[in-house]
């Protein structure tokens, strides 16, 4: 601390101060200090100057600059790590999506192949139990074999009947019978013949080479037994087998025919022993994966890893695994091909082979764009932070607030991007879940009407086989009605699924004409009334009454679609009315036509009401729960609206309303 005395001539101090002030106006001066010195002009007594003030200010500025640099570095690293985490999440989500798609595709292809083999097995069972085979009628059996081959020619090569001594008796391809006889062909020691005789059940072989033409095929064999009854005891005698051969090229063609054009994966198929039956990516058909020839096709760097994967997959279980080689990563999903070889699933399915679906772990265009945008955004953010820090070093005080605003703005941008990515991920997951639910429900509902149809077909076939007049059979009126009902239900399910597809893809179109809504309501009542009694046997069909408007109610709309909406509302009302009456009321409300379907059933529950017109709002034994959803889409397409409410008149039940614009006078009438 220095002290300057105030003694001496009073004129000396102003001059000295003026000199100090004048010298303090240079480039390195501080205006605040100059002003302070000027204020000392009238100060009395000793003048005390704190010489520690300037170093302290420099030190504070240095600390502030260091703090800004450190903070800038932390923010840069944080933004980099933050972007890295999100990029990883996007990549992981994409890989998981690839896993899911590959698993679904492997399952679908395996089930497709299982169905084809099960169809062949069913044909063989029918042939083995036919009177032609049981009675040893070669001519009649040949006709059956040819019919079976014609029905499955896209998959099978031929059907044959082999005697118990291993010689060929008949074949759908007559030239094979002559060739086998000429070559003295005997298959009694072949694996499929021995296995069918030993197990007494349908047997699906692994890949085998034919004796006659040396082709790689799969053989489905069904043993033939004759039953003798003596003294009340049944004795079964092995009489040979009926068999069908499936060329591996047909298996490959079947798989390729079911692949969608946009399918970006590779398909492979091994039998239970590891023999390649189909491969889209390498020429290895007929090779065993453990053979030296197949191993030579594999790069040495991935051979051990790939062999371990194949061994795991051949255990008959479902799975998915990622394999990496030379920086590239891919997903392989596998699913066992199980074949039901007995009617009504009396035994466990036979493990035939494994279906493989492989796909490269590559981001889709949209996901790759998101990662690239995030990377660019992060780099720009880091550059902005560094630039702000450099500027802040020179103008710390002046730019302090602006720097804070910049950081806050960048942080807000990052938060917004984060929120957008989160919403996109949630929407993607929701869509995947909805699609999966739709596929599962549709598959279940389509199976329900198909099973009775297949059952009636088997009964009809049995009737034909047992009838004395060959080629004809008998079915009851009840069975015909059941067949008609299930075919109608299958048609309704198919139409609903196609309508939902059109709505979702934006391809739904209207064919508008001018017609009377009263007439259309009357036709819908007549149509639904004629069909409903045949669908319900546990309660009397309710009465449906039409209360039309006084004048014709002309609308300009798609007549077929409006009829579909009215009929759907009527069917719902009848289904929930429990035998009580249903009333259809039409009226004109300003420029709109209103139709009301009123029932006296149980009403609409509070749980269902908010989602009444959404997909799968109600799942019943009669459909997918798409009727009201489709009705709403149709009415919306007409610029109208549809709604429902519980009746407020104390009589119970609910009312459904549709409102569409009335037709202009100039519209053509129909």
Q: Both ends of the chain: CA-CA distance in Å?
A: 110
Q: Is the pLDDT of residue 451 over 80?
A: no
**pLDDT 10s digits, 302-349:** 888 888 888 888 888 899 988 887 777 888 899 999 988 776 666 778
* φ and ψ at residue 417, rounded to 5 degrees: -60, -40
Report which of 617, 650, 645 is spatially closest to residue 631, judged by C-alpha positions: 617
Q: How far apart are CA 138 and CA 123, in angstroms?
A: 17
pLDDT of amino acid 49: 43
pLDDT of amino acid 299: 87
- State the DSSP code for 543: P
Q: How far is CA 606 from the centre of its chain?
A: 31
Q: Is the dihedral of CA 369, 375, 381, 387 positive or negative?
A: negative
Angle between helices 53-128 and 248-257 (to 10 degrees): 130
* φ and ψ at residue 359, rounded to 5 degrees: -150, 140
Q: How far apart are CA 32 and CA 34, in angstroms?
A: 6
Q: Which residue has the tokens 């003596």?
A: 230
**pLDDT 10s digits, 574-608:** 888 877 889 999 999 999 999 999 998 888 888 88
Radius of gyration (Cα) for the chain, nearest Å?
42
* φ and ψ at residue 47, rounded to 5 degrees: -100, 120
**Average confidence score pLDDT of the chain:** 79
pLDDT of amino acid 219: 94
Question: How many degrees, rounded to 5, is the angle at CA 144 between CA 139 and CA 150?
Answer: 125
Give the C-alpha distances (Å, rounded to integers) separating 332 from 294, 357, 566: 18, 6, 49
Q: How far is CA 257 from the centre of its chain?
A: 20
Per-residue tokens: 617: 């709002």
Q: Which residues contact 501 (CB under 8 A, 6 or more apart)?
A: none
Q: Is the dihedral of CA 597, 599, 601, 606 positive or negative?
A: positive
pLDDT of amino acid 539: 52
**pLDDT 10s digits, 17-45:** 344 444 444 444 444 444 444 454 444 45
Give the C-alpha distances (Å, rounded to integers) separating 514 from 219, 548, 595, 670: 62, 18, 16, 6
pLDDT of amino acid 474: 72
Q: Which residues contact 110 (CB under 8 A, 6 or more apart)?
A: 335, 336, 337, 338, 355
- State the DSSP code for 42: G
Highest mean pLDDT among 229-233, 376-380, 519-523, 531-535: 519-523
* φ and ψ at residue 380, rounded to 5 degrees: -65, -40
Q: Are 220 and 136 in contact (CB under 8 A)?
A: no
Helix (H) or strand (E) holding 140: helix 138-151
Per-residue tokens: 365: 């265009």
**pLDDT 10s digits, 634-667:** 999 999 999 999 999 888 889 999 999 998 876 5
Q: Are 3 and 48 in contact (CB under 8 A)?
A: yes
* φ and ψ at residue 608, rounded to 5 degrees: -85, -30
Helix (H) or strand (E) holding 544: strand 544-547
Helix (H) or strand (E) holding 218: strand 216-230
Q: Are 280 and 265 in contact (CB under 8 A)?
A: no
Identify the band that residue 491 occupies on the pLDDT scale cut at 50, 70 and 90. confident
Report which of 164, 177, 170 is spatially closest to residue 226, judged by C-alpha positions: 164
Identify the band that residue 169 occupies on the pLDDT scale cut at 50, 70 and 90. very high
Highest mean pLDDT among 8-17, 84-93, 438-447: 84-93
Cβ contacts of 641-644, under 8 Å, gap ≥ 24: 642/565, 642/613, 644/604, 644/609, 644/612
pLDDT of amino acid 503: 73
Selected residue with higher pLDDT from 316 and 8: 316
Selected residue with higher pLDDT from 241 and 371: 241
Q: Quick one: what percent of the chain has pLDDT higher than 90? A: 25
Q: How far apart are CA 315 and CA 468, in angstroms?
A: 49
pLDDT of amino acid 21: 40
Query: What average pLDDT does this structure show over 234-253?
Result: 89
Q: How far apart are CA 280 and CA 256, in angstroms?
A: 9
* φ and ψ at residue 181, rounded to 5 degrees: -65, -40
Spell out where 231-274 has E strands. Answer: 233-247, 266-271
| Total H helices, total E strands in the chain | 16, 20
pLDDT of amino acid 79: 76
Query: What average pLDDT does this structure show over 357-365?
Result: 72
pLDDT of amino acid 476: 77
Give the C-alpha distances (Å, rounded to integers) separating 94 from 267, 294, 323, 366: 20, 32, 16, 10
Highest mean pLDDT among 351-365, 393-407, 524-538: 351-365
Q: How far apart are CA 465 and CA 471, in angstroms?
A: 8
Beta bridge partners of 189: none
Q: Quick one: what percent of the chain has pLDDT higher than 70? A: 78
**Is-above-0.75 flag for pTM?**
no
């Amino acid at each position: 601390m220095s002290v300057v005395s105030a003694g001496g001539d009073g004129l000396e101090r102003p001059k000295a101060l003026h000199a100090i002030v004048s010298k303090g106006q240079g480039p390195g001066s501080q205006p605040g200090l100059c002003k302070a010195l000027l204020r000392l002009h009238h100060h009395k007594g000793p003048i005390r100057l704190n010489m520690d003030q300037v170093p302290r200010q420099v030190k504070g500025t240095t600390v502030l600059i260091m703090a800004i640099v450190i903070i800038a570095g932390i923010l840069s690293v944080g933004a980099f790590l933050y972007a890295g985490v999100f990029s990883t999440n996007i990549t992981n989500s994409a890989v998981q999506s690839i896993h899911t798609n590959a698993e679904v595709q492997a399952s679908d292809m395996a089930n497709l192949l299982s169905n084809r083999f099960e169809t062949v097995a069913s044909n063989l069972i029918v042939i083995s139990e036919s009177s032609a085979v049981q009675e040893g009628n070669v001519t009649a059996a040949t006709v059956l074999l040819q019919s079976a081959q014609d029905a499955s020619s896209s998959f099978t090569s031929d059907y044959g009947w082999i005697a118990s001594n291993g010689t060929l008796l008949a074949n759908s391809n007559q030239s094979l019978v002559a060739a086998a006889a000429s070559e003295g062909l005997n298959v009694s020691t072949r694996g499929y013949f021995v296995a069918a005789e030993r197990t007494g059940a349908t047997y699906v072989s692994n890949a085998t080479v034919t004796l006659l033409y040396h082709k790689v095929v799969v053989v489905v064999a069904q043993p033939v037994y004759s039953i003798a009854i003596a003294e009340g005891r049944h004795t079964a005698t092995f009489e040979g087998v009926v068999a069908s051969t499936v060329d591996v090229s047909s298996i490959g063609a079947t798989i390729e025919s079911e692949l969608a054009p946009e399918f970006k994966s590779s398909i492979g198929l091994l039998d239970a022993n590891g023999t390649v039956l189909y491969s889209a990516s390498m020429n290895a058909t007929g090779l065993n994966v453990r053979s030296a020839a197949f191993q030579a096709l594999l790069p040495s760097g991935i051979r051990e890893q790939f062999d371990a994967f194949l061994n795991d997959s051949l255990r008959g279980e479902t799975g998915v695994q990622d394999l990496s080689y030379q920086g590239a990563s891919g997903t392989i999903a596998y699913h066992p091909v199980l074949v039901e070889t007995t009617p009504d699933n009396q035994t466990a399915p036979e493990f035939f082979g494994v279906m493989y679906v492989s796909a490269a772990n590559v981001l889709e265009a949209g996901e790759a764009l998101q990662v690239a945008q995030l990377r660019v955004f992060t780099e720009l953010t880091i550059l902005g932070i560094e630039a702000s820090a450099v500027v802040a070093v020179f103008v710390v005080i002046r730019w302090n607030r602006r720097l804070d605003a910049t950081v806050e703005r960048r942080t807000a941008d990052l938060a917004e991007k984060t929120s957008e990515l989160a919403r996109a991920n949630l929407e993607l997951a929701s869509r995947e879940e909805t699609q999966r639910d739709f596929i599962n429900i549709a598959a279940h509902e389509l199976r329900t009407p198909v099973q009775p149809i297949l059952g009636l077909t088997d009964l009809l076939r049995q009737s034909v086989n047992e009838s004395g007049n060959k080629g004809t059979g008998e079915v009851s009126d009840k069975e015909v009605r059941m067949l008609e009902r299930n075919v109608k239900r299958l048609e309704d399910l198919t139409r609903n699924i196609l309508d939902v597809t059109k709505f979702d893809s934006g391809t739904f179109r209207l064919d508008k004409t001018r017609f009377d809504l009263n007439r259309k309501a009357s036709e819908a009542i007549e149509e639904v009334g004629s069909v409903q009694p045949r669908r319900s046997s546990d309660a009397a069909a309710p009465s449906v009454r039409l209360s039309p408007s006084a004048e014709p109610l002309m609308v300009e709309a798609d007549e077929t679609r409006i009829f579909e909406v009215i009929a759907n509302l009527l069917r719902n009302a009848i289904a929930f009315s429990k035998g009580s009456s249903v009333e259809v009321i039409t009226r004109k409300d300003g420029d709109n036509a209103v139709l009301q379907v009123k029932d006296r059933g149980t009403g609409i529950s509070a749980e269902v009401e908010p989602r009444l017109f959404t997909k799968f709002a109600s799942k019943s034994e009669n459909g997918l729960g798409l009727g009201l959803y489709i009705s709403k889409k149709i009415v919306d397409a007409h610029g109208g609206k549809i709604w429902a409410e519980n009746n407020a008149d104390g009589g119970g039940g609910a009312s459904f309303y549709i409102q569409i614009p009335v037709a202009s006078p100039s519209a053509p009438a129909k």
